[in-house]
Structure 1
Amino acid sequence: MTVVDDLWYRADVAQQEAEQTYHRLLEDQDGVMEFTRTRYVSRPRFETITGRVQDNGLPYGAHSVVHRDDGALLLVRHDDVGKWVLPGGEVGPDETFREAARRELAEEAGIEAAFEDLALLGRVQFYCDEYETWGVLPIYEAEATETALSVADPDDEITDAAWFRSLPEDTRDRDVLVRFREHRLE
């Protein structure tokens, strides 16, 4: 019995969706800072990623980079990742990317913010053996309208939220956030 491996096809479909999402997000946008990340993952993880990207082009959902008047950035502690990260997560079937980012912010940090345009756009490359695909990571800029934090994450992945003027060393994509602060907030 011959087993047909269709993972190459699923990876290709995911790439096509990512490409369309990428171009749609950049329409009428100025000043979006772009970055690329590479991830080497197991086959089960690659299968999960291709499925997510096929849905809407996003492997990790929509996120926000939230700042206060004094330039401090909001980060949340993601225990599964073991790092401080930007608030964000999966997009529901009836949500826009911005709506998902807003909902995730409320869940993970308990605050509201005035959302602005897309600030950062990541391209995340995934590799598994001979397979590859990619997905888009949209990050919206937002200014906090309140600053008292309260974590109420229904997924129990986020255990803390805090404001940082100096980003911790264990911040995911720290280099990108440092560049963002230098160009947008200082």
Structure 2
Amino acid sequence: MTSKPTDESATSSAVESVTDLESLRDRPGVQFHEETERVDSELFETLETLDDMAVVGVTNGDGDVLLMRVTEECALKLPTAEVGPDEDYAAAARNWVESQAGLEITLDSLEGVWCHEGRLEGTDRTTTRAFVVFGATPEVDEDGTDGTTDKRTEAYTVGWYAELPTDAAVAPGTRRFFD
């Protein structure tokens, strides 16, 4: 595998919409990583069916990070929403955190884009899966209350963590929120 970050700094103002990843490639302050790996036909076929992902590092006022388990069987991880073709990564990220964790958020930054290309062994065929990573904070009311909604939380477990648990799943960009 090869990895090529295009920029080492990653900060920007509030993020409203992200639909065109290529437009982010040369955007100042956004890391753009690309990895290529030769894969067998079984893995290639699996990769072709997977959606892109929007990963959200939600940090509260104490510096703790929101982690969740969507089901009893899955590992703790940053909120991670599937993003289909022509969908908005930012909207998917906000909607996922609100529906799964019951928390309204503001996407404060675009931390980076990780593109994983699978190249089918012995051919020139490729398939790509992207992970767009956002930094976020809970919305806060005038009285200082966070944006917890009245909606029923769908996730199995939701909590705030100062350190990344050793058994947590690590999506691209996760460690940026646990320095």
The corresponding residue for 1:49 is 47
* In structure 2, C-alpha distance between the alignment counterparts of 1:28 and 1:64, rounded to whole Å: 19
Q: TM-score, length-normalised on structure 2?
A: 0.64
* In structure 2, C-alpha distance between the alignment counterparts of 1:86 and 1:103, rounded to whole Å: 14
Deviation string, structure 1 residues 36-68 (Cα, Å, up to 9, x no partner): 59796872x64353244xxxxxx3421211000
The corresponding residue for 2:129 is 135
* In structure 2, C-alpha distance between the alignment counterparts of 1:72 and 1:161, rounded to whole Å: 12
* In structure 1, C-alpha distance between the alignment counterparts of 2:79 and 2:118, rounded to whole Å: 22
Taking every aligned residue pair, what percent have the same amino acid on both sides? 24
For structure 1, the 5+ residue unaligned runs are 1-19, 53-58
The corresponding residue for 1:152 is 153
Q: Secondary structure at the match of 1:85?
A: coil
- Quote the RMSD (CA, aligned, Å): 3.7
Give yes or no for contact 2:55–2:81 (8 Å, CA) kept in 1: yes
Give yes or no for contact 1:151–1:160 (8 Å, CA) kept in 2: no
Query: Does 2:80 align with 1:88?
Result: yes
Question: 33-42 vs 61-70, which deviates more?
Answer: 33-42
Deviation string, structure 1 residues 132-166 (Cα, Å, up to 9, x no partner): 5332100111012227597633xxxx411111001
* In structure 1, C-alpha distance between the alignment counterparts of 2:171 and 2:21, rounded to whole Å: 22
Mapping of residues 117-128 of structure 1, within 5 Å:
117-126=109-118
> Aligned residue pairs: how many?
152
* Aligned-partner residue type, residue 100 of structure 1: A
The corresponding residue for 2:159 is 162
Q: Secondary structure at the match of 1:61?
A: strand
Structure 1 position 75, deviation (Å): 0.9
The corresponding residue for 2:27 is 28
* In structure 2, C-alpha distance between the alignment counterparts of 1:136 and 1:177, rounded to whole Å: 15
Q: Secondary structure at the match of 1:117?
A: strand
Distance 1:152 1:29, change over 3 A: farther
Distance 1:63 1:179, change over 3 A: closer
The corresponding residue for 1:3 is none
Give yes or no for contact 1:83–1:170 (8 Å, CA) kept in 2: yes
The corresponding residue for 1:177 is 174
* In structure 2, C-alpha distance between the alignment counterparts of 1:69 and 1:41, rounded to whole Å: 45
* Aligned-partner residue type, residue 49 of structure 1: L
The corresponding residue for 2:99 is 107
* Aligned-partner residue type, residue 109 of structure 2: D
Query: Does 2:47 align with 1:75?
Result: no
Q: TM-score, length-normalised on structure 1?
A: 0.62
